Amino acid sequence: MSARASGNPGGSGARVLKLRELLHRANHDYYADGKPSMADSEFDQLLEELRQLEVAAGDLDPSSPTARVGGAPTSAFQAVPHTLPMMSVDNTYSEADFRAWHARCEEALGHPPVVTCDPKIDGLAVSLRWEQGTLVRAVTRGDGQQGDDITANARAIRSIPLRLRGDAPPVLEVRGEVFMPFESFELANEQRLRDGEELFANPRNATMGTLKNLDPRVTAARRLRFIAHGRGACEGVPGDGYRGFLKVIKALGVPVNPLTRRCATVDEVVAAIEEFRDARQALPYAVDGLVAKIDSFAEQAALGTTAKSPRWAIAFKYPAERKETRLLEVAWQVGKGGTLTPRATLAPVVIAGTKVQHATLHNIAEITRKDLRIGDMVIVEKAGEIIPQVVEVVAEAREGSELPIVAPTQCPACAGAVEPEAEGSPRLVCTNSACPAQFRERLKWFVGRGQMDIDTLGEKLVDQLIDAGLVRHFADVFLLKVDDLLALERMGDISAKALLDAARDSKPRGLGRVLASLGIRLVGESAAKMLAKSFPDMDALLAATPADLEALPDFGSLTAESIVRTLATPAMREEIRRLSEAGVDLRSQTYRPPVGAPVAATPFSGKTVVLTGTLGRWDRPALKEILESMGATCSGSVSKKTHLVIAGEKAGSKLEQARAMGVEVWDEAKLVDALDALGVPRPDRA
């Protein structure tokens, strides 16, 4: 413990309060005021001192700066309703359309309105709620009526204050954008490259992937930022307009954009749009437009909303940058389901600040429609300034030496037959289920997050294992030995052991996760979950007929036939046999008896259950489904409605809340005993 942490309890308590205030103020100075008052090294040193003091005192205040980095992974995101609808803003790309919007507002109000302009940051919209100054909820936009509760991840973002400064109102709800600055984006991709994982396509993609991660520590490591751009439900917040609102929340410690601009006339707004067109290129984060909104809240209310968007706001989006370059060749890539996708190789060209050498061509029908040929000069743009695509041919530049692009009749990877995906479909598929290119992509899918989730086994390592002949079947992943892995480039003892441990830990994930991982066409996560709820194990599913599957909710004839046909192939039967012999659990963890069969009451029937801490035996998403199949409602937070908290190792604030509120608490041993008594099979791990 730090020397300053020693001493009498009273002194330590005062030091804790002092450190919390210092670190909260440092965050405010950096993120809200943009004027750093403390070096990063000093911040980190004081944060560590505070953590030691809090642990020694047993003081686990959820509003402490240390709460940002100590959160345990959550089992799943829970959908929660927005207090007020979280609408999206209509877009326009032309000055004429923008002026028409402004004229409609002016006519409706009877006078020219004052307009405030904000940069349109390319991130993920969220709603943050503070009650009595404490952050209590963070929710994604979702469908506008409800979104995912990402409070644990939001708490890990340093620019989001856990406690507001000064005299906080009873309720403050702020809408804004979570985003990843370019510097953080580059660091995140450098780490993914080292880990052999697929790179993020762009900062917005990286932001979404980070906020959808169940581990808040990942969010903390990726240095996301937050900037406010609107309000939700508020109580006791002064101000009669947007600019005034921004001034109030900035004083409370909420970051706002210093580039926000007030415009008294439509010509001033148009000038701001033109000035920002070039200025945005120098910003340290991605921006794709400027949002104009009527400043007065009373005038906003008078203008009202449509079903999806406010009439008092509009986003002017800058058109995607286009460049001319030459189409050099077309390669056909084979996906995990055998789909062949054409990919253009281009003469390098810089678009929207990045070098572009490849672009998607979608399918052969799109190539034919655009009359693309090898050697053509083509126009390329980034769709949404993200994905490069060929827009059109520069026909007048043709010299007569250009060559037609012909759809392959044989798979470029295995020389197997290629056929349309369905009658009349423009998509082509390789029909050889033993195609090595398909297996390579299917294995990357099999081990990925949301499937078998074998941590540390990224795309580059999959390539290494296949190229070295160590993995020819899915089951081979579970049969690897340390010596096998040490022969690979840049593989050490620690990395090898971590991979083997991750493979072992994935074995008990159960039927639903295995089905989602096998790459069966038309079977995604939701279909796999339904199959696992409807069949007790793989053997029962293998015996099912198309009619059995069509009887399931949302299963059509195409899906049913695809499942039965794929599972009946000798290659898939062999994969399943090998997985079983390797110890992979092919039993359902969520099986429910057929409709009409008697369902006995369980200790979880009608109860709201919260899972917290690390559960050594159970896969958390699967356990959640098991409990819900027995009548429970699983929640991500402890409240007055909570009936039961199941606490694993290192349970934190939720366990403390449960005890303080007198909520019943079970440890994992009691949970196992209860499920054993109900006949629920234990996962095959200790």
CB 359 within 8 A of CB 346: yes
- Cα–Cα distance, 352 to 355 (Å, whole number): 9
Strands (E), 73-219: 79-81, 91-92, 115-121, 124-131, 134-140, 146-148, 171-179
H helices of 413-492, in order, are: 436-446, 459-467, 482-486
Is 120 one of the catalytic residues? yes
The whole-angstrom distance between residue 217's C-alpha and the CA centroid of its chain comes to: 14
CA 482 to chain CA centroid, Å, is 33
Cite the DSSP H helix spans in 535-631: 538-542, 546-550, 557-568, 570-581, 620-629
Element (H, E) at 347: strand 339-351
Task: Return the ∠ at Cα 138 (arms to 132 and 141), rounded to 5°.
Answer: 130
Rounded to the nearest 10 degrees, how much is the dihedral formed by the CA atoms of 480, 481, 487, 489? 60
Tell me how many degrees the CA angle 497-503-509 measures, rounded to the nearest 5: 150
Residue 368: its H or E element: helix 364-370
Amino acid of residue 76: A
Those residues with Cβ within 8 angstroms of residue 127's Cβ, 6 or more apart along the chain or in another chain: 82, 86, 137, 138, 139, 141, 147, 173, 174, 175, 232
Helical pair 436-446 and 459-467, crossing angle rounded to 10 deg: 140
> Residue 409 and residue 426: Cα distance in Å, rounded?
14
The CA distance from 598 to 583, in Å, is 32
Q: Identify the active-site residue in 35, 120, 212, 654.
A: 120
- Cβ–Cβ < 8 Å for 482, 489: no
The C-alpha atoms of residue 431 and residue 306 are separated, in whole angstroms, by: 48
What are the tokens at 354?
A: 């990045």
- The encoded tokens of residue 534 equal 């409807």
Q: Which residue has the tokens 């074995």?
A: 507
Q: Which residues are catalytic?
A: 120
